[in-house]
Amino acid sequence: MSVRLLVDADACPVRDEVLRVANRVGLETIFVTNGSRPIRPPGGLARVVVVTEGADKADDWIAEQASPTDVCLTNDIPLAARCIAQGALCLSFKGHPWTEDNIGSALAGRELARHLREIGVAGGPAPMQQADRSRFLNALDAAVQAALRRAKG
């Protein structure tokens, strides 16, 4: 099995960082989009998959493809839960690893945050900072190394 990066591309703020790591290590990288935002072709071992338009179509594609040697990159907590169920490693775009140990509380927190937004008490997530990009790069390097160990397995 080969290691791949599966990227939820419609909301990915770390595309350049993903490509930097993927090119350095020589990994296939798949940016999955529903076409709502244009994505320039990445080149190299990276490609773009455009799924049919519609809610969760890109998520469905990623979750169906995810395997234990893949690293899935997303801020979508339900998608991360689906990928973890397939055995894949998952990271948020700010470098937070999603795991079997923390995905349940993340899903619960997501529901609480949704409810608070609905009643006007809370806003969205904090904007991306340079420290978040650095944390993402470090976490992606660690996840890629873990996936490579799994692939040798």
Q: How far apart are CA 73 and CA 9, in angstroms?
A: 9
Q: What is the mean pLDDT of residues 116-131?
A: 78
For the stretch 61-95, pLDDT in tens is: 999 999 999 999 999 999 999 999 999 999 999 99
Q: Specify the higher pLDDT residue, 124 or 96.
A: 96
User: SS3 for 73?
Assistant: strand
152: left (phi over 0), alpha (psi -120 to 50) or beta: alpha
Q: How far apart are CA 91 and CA 107, in angstroms?
A: 15
For the stretch 3-34, pLDDT in tens is: 999 999 988 999 999 999 999 999 999 999 98
Catalogue all structural domains in the chain, each as residue range(s) with its CATH number: 4-99+128-152 (3.40.50)
pLDDT > 80? residue 145: yes
